[in-house]
A and B are shown apart, each in its own frame.
Chain A
Amino acid sequence: MFDIESLYQATGIQDAIRALQADERAMIISGGSDVLIQCREGRLAGCSLVSIHGIPELMGIEQAADGTVTIRAATSFSHIANHEIIRRTVPMLGDAVDQVGGPQIRNIGTIGGNVCNGVTSADSASSLWALNATLELHSASGVRQVPIRDFYTGAGKTVRRRDEVLVALHIQKKDYDGFGGCYLKYGKRNAMEIATLGCAAMVRLTEDRRHVADLRLAYGVAGPTPLRCVNTEDAARGMKTDEALLLHVAAGAVAEVNPRTSWRASKEFRLQLVSELAKRAVRQATLNAGGELDV
Chain B
Amino acid sequence: MFKTLTMTVNGAEVSIPVDERESLVDTLRNRLGLTSVKKGCEVGECGACTVLVDGEAIDSCIYLSVWAEGRRILTVEGLKSPTGELDPIQQAFIDEAATQCGFCTPGIIMSAVEIVGTGKRYSREELRKLISGHLCRCTGYESILNAMERIVEETYKRVGK
Question: Interface of A with B (CB < 8 Å)?
Answer: 1-4, 6-7, 9, 32-33, 36-37, 40-41, 51, 53-54, 78, 101-105, 107-108, 190-192
* B75 contacts A by Cβ under 8 Å: no
Which residues of chain B are near A190, meaning CB under 8 Å? Answer: 129, 132
Which residues of chain A are near B132, meaning CB under 8 Å? Answer: 102-103, 190-192
Q: Which 5 A-B pairs have the closest CB atoms?
A: A102-B133, A191-B132, A107-B56, A104-B133, A102-B132
Interface pair B47/A104, CB less than 8 Å apart: yes
Interface of A is mostly: mixed
A40 to B133, CA, bound (A): 19
Interface pair A108/B64, CB less than 8 Å apart: no
Taking a contact as CB atoms closer than 8 A, the residue among A7, A9, A191 that contacts B21 in the complex is A7
A4 to B21, CA, bound (A): 6
| Contact (A51, B64) CB under 8 Å given A7-B20, A104-B133 | yes
12 A-B residue pairs with CB within 8 Å:
A4-B21, A32-B62, A33-B62, A40-B42, A51-B67, A101-B44, A102-B134, A103-B111, A108-B58, A108-B63, A191-B133, A192-B133
| Contact (A1, B19) CB under 8 Å given A36-B64, A78-B56, A107-B57 | yes
Which residues of chain A are near B42, meaning CB under 8 Å? Answer: 40
Which residues of chain A are near B129, meaning CB under 8 Å? Answer: 103, 190-191
A36 to B140, CA, bound (A): 30
Interface pair A32/B111, CB less than 8 Å apart: no
Interface pair A103/B62, CB less than 8 Å apart: no
Interface pair A104/B50, CB less than 8 Å apart: yes
| Contact (A105, B26) CB under 8 Å given A4-B21, A36-B64, A51-B67 | no
Interface pair A103/B133, CB less than 8 Å apart: yes
* B130 contacts A by Cβ under 8 Å: yes
Number of interface residues of B (CB under 8 A): 31
Which residues of chain B are near A1, meaning CB under 8 Å? Answer: 19, 21-23, 26
Give B133's nearest chain A residue, CB to CB.
A102
* B95 contacts A by Cβ under 8 Å: no
Which residues of chain B are near A192, meaning CB under 8 Å? Answer: 45, 132-133
Taking a contact as CB atoms closer than 8 A, the residue among A9, A51, A104 that contacts B57 in the complex is A104
A191 to B45, CA, bound (A): 11
| CB under 8 Å from chain A, chain B span 1-22 | 1, 19-22
| CB under 8 Å from chain A, chain B span 52-69 | 56-59, 62-64, 66-67, 69
A36 to B44, CA, bound (A): 10
Shortest Cβ distance from residue B105 to the other chain A in the assembled complex, whole angstroms: 16
Give B60's nearest chain A residue, CB to CB.
A104
Which residues of chain B are near A104, meaning CB under 8 Å? Answer: 44, 47, 50, 57-59, 111, 133
Shortest Cβ distance from residue B6 to the other chain A in the assembled complex, whole angstroms: 14
Chain B 102-114 interface mask (CB, 8 Å, partner A; 1/0): 0000000001001
Which residues of chain A are near B63, meaning CB under 8 Å? Answer: 32, 108
| CB under 8 Å from chain A, chain B span 114-129 | 114, 129
A41 to B45, CA, bound (A): 14
| Contact (A108, B62) CB under 8 Å given A40-B43, A101-B44, A102-B132 | yes
Interface pair B67/A54, CB less than 8 Å apart: yes
Interface pair A2/B44, CB less than 8 Å apart: no
| Contact (A108, B59) CB under 8 Å given A7-B66, A54-B67 | yes
| Contact (A2, B21) CB under 8 Å given A51-B64, A102-B133 | yes
Which residues of chain A are near B45, meaning CB under 8 Å? Answer: 192
Which residues of chain B are near A105, meaning CB under 8 Å? Answer: 44, 59, 133
A2 to B132, CA, bound (A): 26
Interface pair B58/A102, CB less than 8 Å apart: no
Which residues of chain A are near B59, meaning CB under 8 Å? Answer: 104-105, 108
| CB under 8 Å from chain A, chain B span 128-161 | 129-134
A192 to B20, CA, bound (A): 28
Which residues of chain A are near B69, meaning CB under 8 Å? Answer: 9
